[in-house]
Structure 1
Amino acid sequence: MTTDSSTYHRRVAAEKRSAIIEAATRLFLEASYDGISLARIAEEAGVSKATLFKQFPTKAVLFEAIVTESWNVDDKDVQPQPGDLRAGLTAIGHRYAALLTRPGMAGLFRIVIAELPRFPELGETQFQLGKMPYFDSVRRYLEAENAAGTARLDDSVMAATQFLGMISNYVFWPRMLLLNWNPKAADTQNAVEEAVVTMLARYGVANGD
Structure 2
Amino acid sequence: MSSVVPTYHQRVAQEKRSLIVAAATVLFLELGYDRTTLARIAERSGVSRATLFKQFPSKAALFDAIVTESWSTADDEDAPPTGNFVDGLSTLGRRYATLLSRPQMTDLFRIVIAELPRFPELAHAQFSHGKMPYFESVRSYLLAEHEAGAVRIEDAELAATQFLGMISNYVFWPRLLVPGWEVSTEGVTQVVDEAVRTIAARYAATGPASSLND
TM-score range, shorter-chain basis? over 0.9
Shift in Å, 1:2: 1.4
Aligned mates of 1:152, 1:75 — CA distance in 2: 30
Map residues 154-193 of structure 1 onto 2, 5 A cutoff. 154-193=154-193
Counterpart residue identity of residue 3, structure 1: S
SS at the partner of 1:152? coil
Shift in Å, 1:208: 8.2
- The CA RMSD measured in Å over matched residues stands at 1.4
Shift in Å, 1:139: 0.4
Map residues 1-209 of structure 1 onto 2, 5 A cutoff. 2-206=2-206
Aligned mates of 1:76, 1:13 — CA distance in 2: 20
Q: Which runs of 5+ in 2 are unaligned?
A: 210-214
Shift in Å, 1:74: 3.5
Aligned mates of 1:85, 1:55 — CA distance in 2: 41
Report the count of equivalent residues: 209
CA contact (8 A) 1:76 1:134 kept: no
Aligned mates of 2:75, 2:11 — CA distance in 1: 22
Once the two structures are superposed, residues 54-74 of structure 1 have per-residue CA deviations (whole angstroms, 9 ceiling, x without a partner) of 111110010001101111113
Once the two structures are superposed, residues 115-151 of structure 1 have per-residue CA deviations (whole angstroms, 9 ceiling, x without a partner) of 0000000000000000000100000000000000001
Aligned mates of 1:28, 1:9 — CA distance in 2: 28
Shift in Å, 1:77: 4.7
Aligned mates of 1:16, 1:75 — CA distance in 2: 21
CA contact (8 A) 2:149 2:208 kept: no
SS at the partner of 1:36? coil
Moved segments of 4+, more than 4 Å:
206-209
Residue identity over aligned pairs, in percent, reads 59
- Greater Cα offset, 36-45 or 66-75: 66-75
Shift in Å, 1:206: 4.6
Aligned mates of 2:199, 2:89 — CA distance in 1: 8
Aligned mates of 1:81, 1:57 — CA distance in 2: 39
Aligned mates of 1:184, 1:39 — CA distance in 2: 40
TM-score normalised by structure 1 residue count: 0.96
CA contact (8 A) 2:149 2:207 kept: no
Shift in Å, 1:103: 2.1
Counterpart residue identity of residue 34, structure 1: D
Shift in Å, 1:75: 4.2
Shift in Å, 1:3: 1.4
Counterpart residue identity of residue 175, structure 1: R
Aligned mates of 2:75, 2:46 — CA distance in 1: 31
Shift in Å, 1:84: 1.0
- Greater Cα offset, 175-184 or 157-166: 175-184
Q: Which runs of 5+ in 1 are unaligned?
A: none
